[in-house]
Amino acid sequence: MIASLAFYLFSFVLIMSALFVISAKNPVHSVLFLILAFFNAAGLFVLLGAEFVAFILAIVYVGAVAVLFLFVVMMLDVSFADLRRESMQYIPLGLVIGGILLVEMAFMMFAWSPSMMAGGNIAAAAPKDLSNTHALGQILYTQYVLPFQVSGLILLVAMIGAIVLTLRVRPGTLRQKISDQVHVRREDVVEVRKVQSGQGVE
């Protein structure tokens, strides 16, 4: 009973917050609702017994991605009301496409059944006595090592791309050169003079 209560709670909040993400007037509120949605999705994963995925979702999306999202959105100086007005003209098209997708989904839910062979094809679930972190680790580095490694390359390319497109070397900026500072010797910067009183330093 608790589990199903939790399921309905998480699902309800998830759907509502997803709705608010696209309907909130203030973009910062949108991002905050997005975070709430991530959080509830993580809750649903926990209910499914996939706790590792749940917490990775929370750490990566809530803890890092959404923070940067929020960071950027807060700094933007764009009138979102104007943007919204402009995008309103595409609403009919959006509704058509969304409607088609919705119909497809509904169709699939009610009228479709997997192939007779699908049951045999689906990868076996993790063995009972294995925590799902261990189970994931075992297939990630064996069966799925190729997509796993290529995903790493994709992230590398994304990183290179971000740097290539945004890093600019501005002339004239002052930078702290730590090693120079550390390697300063006393003789370079301090000179001890014996000053006769009344004479001053020449």
Partner 1 sequence: MTLQIFLNDYGLPGALIVLQILAFVVPLLIGVAYLVYAERKVMGAMQLRQGPMTVGAFGLLQTFADAIKLFSKEIIIPSAAHRVVFILAPVLTMLLSMIAWSVIPVNEGWVIADINVGILYLFAISSMGVYGVLMAGWASNSKYAFLGGMRSAAQMVSYEVSMGLVIVCVLLCVGSLNLTEIVTAPRPWWVQVMLLPMFVVFVVSILAECNRAPFDLPEGESELSGGFLVEYSAAAFMLFFLAEYANMILMSAMATILFLGGWLPPFGIEALDFVPGVIWFVLKVSFILFVYIWVRATLPRYRYDQLMRLGWKIFLPFTLIWVLVMAGTLMATNSLPVVQ
Partner 2 sequence: MTVFNFNDVVAIAPEVMLAVGSMLLMMVGVTARGGALKPVALLTVFLWVVTAGYICTHGAGETMRVFEDMLVLDDFAQLMKIFIAGGAVAALLLAVADIDKTVMARFEYPVLMSFAVLGMFLMVSANDLLALYVGLELSALSLYVLAAFDRNSTRASEAGLKYFVLGAISSGMLLFGASLIYGYTGSTQFDVIQATLSAGAVPGPSSVVVLFGMILIVSAMAFKISAVPFHMWTPDVYEGAPTSVTAFFAIVPKIAAMALIIRLVTGPFEPLASDLQPVLAIIAVASMLVGAFAAIVQTSIKRLLAYSSIGNMGYALVGLVAGTHLGLSALVMYLAIYMVMTVGTFGVIMLLRRDGMAVEKISDLSGLSKSRPYYAYALAILMFSMSGIPPLAGFFGKYAVFQAAVAANAYVLAVIGVLTSVVAAWYYINIIRVMFFEEPKEGEALGLSSCPVSRIVLGASLLFVLLFILAPQSLAVISANATNGLLK
Shortest CB 86 distance to partner 1, Å = 25
d(CA 142, CA 122): 17
Stretch that binds partner 2, among 52-60, 67-75, 136-144, 171-179 (CB under 8 A): 136-144
- Please tell me the total number of residues recorded for the chain in this structure: 202
Stretch that binds partner 2, among 16-24, 63-71, 152-160, 181-189 (CB under 8 A): 152-160
- Applying CB under 8 A, the site for partner 2 has a residue count of 37
d(CA 136, CA 148): 12
**What is the DSSP annotation of 177-195?**
-HHHHHT--HHHH------
d(CA 132, CA 193): 73
Pick left, alpha or beta for residue 169 (phi over 0 → left; psi -120 to 50 → alpha; otherwise beta): beta
Q: Between residues 88 and 154, which has the closer beta carbon with respect to partner 2?
A: 154
Q: Map the footprint of partner 2 across residues 34-93, applying CB under 8 A.
A: none
Stretch that binds partner 2, among 6-14, 28-36, 155-163, 183-191 (CB under 8 A): 155-163
Q: Between residues 5 and 116, which has the closer beta carbon with respect to partner 2?
A: 116
Supply φ then ψ for residue 201, to 5 degrees: -95, 135
Applying CB under 8 A, the residues found at the interface with partner 2 are 104, 107-108, 111-122, 138-139, 141-147, 150-151, 153-154, 156-158, 160-161, 163-166
